[in-house]
Amino acid sequence: MADPLGPSLFIETFGIKSPILKVLDFFIDNEGFDYSKTEVMEGTDLSRATLFNIWPKLEAQDLLTATRNVGRAKMYRLNTQNPIVMKLMELDEAISEYFAQKHCSPGASSPIAPEILRPSHGLVKAIDD
Protein backbone atom coordinates (compact mmCIF):
# COMPACT_ATOMS: atom_id res chain seq x y z
CA MET A 1 0.00 0.00 0.00
CA ALA A 2 1.68 3.18 -1.18
CA ASP A 3 1.45 6.43 0.73
CA PRO A 4 -2.03 7.92 0.12
CA LEU A 5 -0.55 11.42 0.25
CA GLY A 6 1.79 10.74 -2.63
CA PRO A 7 5.55 11.11 -2.77
CA SER A 8 7.43 12.72 0.09
CA LEU A 9 9.11 16.11 -0.26
CA PHE A 10 12.43 14.30 -0.61
CA ILE A 11 11.28 12.33 -3.66
CA GLU A 12 9.23 15.17 -5.11
CA THR A 13 12.05 17.71 -4.81
CA PHE A 14 14.42 15.66 -6.93
CA GLY A 15 11.84 14.00 -9.16
CA ILE A 16 13.79 10.76 -8.89
CA LYS A 17 11.87 7.53 -8.60
CA SER A 18 14.78 5.16 -8.08
CA PRO A 19 13.77 2.03 -6.17
CA ILE A 20 16.77 2.41 -3.87
CA LEU A 21 15.83 6.02 -3.13
CA LYS A 22 12.21 5.01 -2.48
CA VAL A 23 13.36 2.43 0.08
CA LEU A 24 15.74 4.87 1.78
CA ASP A 25 13.04 7.54 1.84
CA PHE A 26 10.62 5.06 3.41
CA PHE A 27 13.11 4.28 6.17
CA ILE A 28 14.02 7.96 6.70
CA ASP A 29 10.33 8.84 7.06
CA ASN A 30 9.86 5.97 9.51
CA GLU A 31 13.22 6.16 11.24
CA GLY A 32 12.19 4.93 14.68
CA PHE A 33 10.82 1.59 13.53
CA ASP A 34 12.02 -1.63 11.97
CA TYR A 35 10.25 -3.33 9.07
CA SER A 36 10.15 -6.64 7.24
CA LYS A 37 10.82 -6.76 3.51
CA THR A 38 7.10 -7.33 2.95
CA GLU A 39 6.24 -4.15 4.89
CA VAL A 40 8.86 -2.19 2.93
CA MET A 41 7.48 -3.56 -0.33
CA GLU A 42 3.96 -2.44 0.63
CA GLY A 43 5.13 0.94 1.98
CA THR A 44 7.12 1.79 -1.13
CA ASP A 45 4.77 0.26 -3.70
CA LEU A 46 7.66 -1.72 -5.18
CA SER A 47 7.25 -5.17 -6.63
CA ARG A 48 8.76 -8.13 -4.80
CA ALA A 49 11.20 -8.72 -7.67
CA THR A 50 12.41 -5.11 -7.64
CA LEU A 51 12.82 -5.03 -3.87
CA PHE A 52 14.73 -8.31 -3.77
CA ASN A 53 16.92 -7.10 -6.66
CA ILE A 54 18.05 -3.93 -4.85
CA TRP A 55 18.14 -5.27 -1.27
CA PRO A 56 21.67 -6.74 -1.48
CA LYS A 57 22.99 -3.32 -2.55
CA LEU A 58 21.39 -1.66 0.48
CA GLU A 59 22.90 -4.24 2.83
CA ALA A 60 26.30 -4.26 1.09
CA GLN A 61 26.63 -0.51 1.65
CA ASP A 62 25.45 -0.86 5.28
CA LEU A 63 22.54 1.50 4.64
CA LEU A 64 20.17 -0.89 6.41
CA THR A 65 20.78 -3.14 9.35
CA ALA A 66 18.94 -6.25 10.53
CA THR A 67 17.45 -5.74 13.99
CA ARG A 68 15.57 -8.90 14.97
CA ASN A 69 13.52 -11.83 13.75
CA VAL A 70 9.75 -11.96 14.13
CA GLY A 71 8.69 -15.49 13.31
CA ARG A 72 10.29 -16.20 9.95
CA ALA A 73 10.55 -12.52 9.00
CA LYS A 74 13.77 -10.59 9.48
CA MET A 75 13.24 -6.97 10.51
CA TYR A 76 15.40 -4.08 9.24
CA ARG A 77 16.04 -0.51 10.23
CA LEU A 78 17.96 2.41 8.75
CA ASN A 79 21.61 2.37 9.80
CA THR A 80 21.80 5.86 11.27
CA GLN A 81 25.52 5.40 12.02
CA ASN A 82 26.34 5.20 8.30
CA PRO A 83 27.76 8.54 7.03
CA ILE A 84 25.75 8.31 3.80
CA VAL A 85 22.53 7.81 5.77
CA MET A 86 23.45 10.70 8.07
CA LYS A 87 23.85 13.04 5.08
CA LEU A 88 20.60 11.84 3.48
CA MET A 89 18.78 12.49 6.75
CA GLU A 90 20.31 15.98 6.96
CA LEU A 91 19.21 16.65 3.39
CA ASP A 92 15.69 15.39 4.12
CA GLU A 93 15.52 17.69 7.15
CA ALA A 94 16.78 20.67 5.12
CA ILE A 95 14.15 20.04 2.44
CA SER A 96 11.41 19.83 5.07
CA GLU A 97 12.60 23.05 6.74
CA TYR A 98 12.73 24.87 3.43
CA PHE A 99 9.14 23.96 2.53
CA ALA A 100 7.95 24.62 6.07
CA GLN A 101 9.35 28.15 5.90
CA LYS A 102 8.10 28.68 2.36
CA HIS A 103 4.53 27.54 3.06
CA CYS A 104 4.01 28.33 6.74
CA SER A 105 5.57 31.75 7.13
CA PRO A 106 3.26 34.71 7.71
CA GLY A 107 1.95 35.96 4.39
CA ALA A 108 2.67 32.71 2.56
CA SER A 109 0.42 32.42 -0.47
CA SER A 110 -0.60 28.80 0.12
CA PRO A 111 -0.28 27.51 3.68
CA ILE A 112 -0.15 23.77 4.14
CA ALA A 113 -3.48 22.33 5.23
CA PRO A 114 -3.49 20.39 8.52
CA GLU A 115 -4.88 17.23 6.92
CA ILE A 116 -1.67 16.70 4.97
CA LEU A 117 0.64 16.98 7.96
CA ARG A 118 1.96 13.69 9.32
CA PRO A 119 4.26 13.06 12.26
CA SER A 120 6.39 10.59 10.29
CA HIS A 121 7.52 13.27 7.85
CA GLY A 122 8.63 15.97 10.24
CA LEU A 123 6.82 18.29 7.86
CA VAL A 124 5.41 16.43 4.99
CA LYS A 125 4.30 16.53 1.45
CA ALA A 126 2.04 18.84 -0.50
CA ILE A 127 3.48 21.57 -2.57
CA ASP A 128 0.93 23.92 -4.04
CA ASP A 129 2.85 26.09 -6.44
- What integer pLDDT is reported at residue 103 of this predicted model? 79
Q: The domain spanning residue 77 has which CATH number?
A: 1.10.10.10
Asked whether residue 88 is domain-assigned, the answer is yes
Asked whether residue 113 is domain-assigned, the answer is no
Residue 5 pLDDT exceeds 80: no
Asked whether residue 63 is domain-assigned, the answer is yes
Range of the domain at 48: 9-99
Question: Which of 13, 5, 34 lies closest to 93 in space, CA to CA?
Answer: 13
Q: In total, how many domains does the chain have?
A: 1
Taking each helix axis from N to C end, the angle separating 19-29 and 83-104, rounded to the nearest 10 degrees, works out to 70
- What integer pLDDT is reported at residue 39 of this predicted model? 97
Higher pLDDT, residue 14 or 129: 14
Asked whether residue 95 is domain-assigned, the answer is yes
- What integer pLDDT is reported at residue 40 of this predicted model? 96
pLDDT tens track for 83-123: 999 999 998 899 888 888 887 766 655 444 444 444 444 43
Asked whether residue 91 is domain-assigned, the answer is yes
Asked whether residue 114 is domain-assigned, the answer is no
Asked whether residue 35 is domain-assigned, the answer is yes
Asked whether residue 49 is domain-assigned, the answer is yes
pLDDT tens track for 50-92: 999 999 999 999 999 999 999 999 999 999 999 999 999 998 8
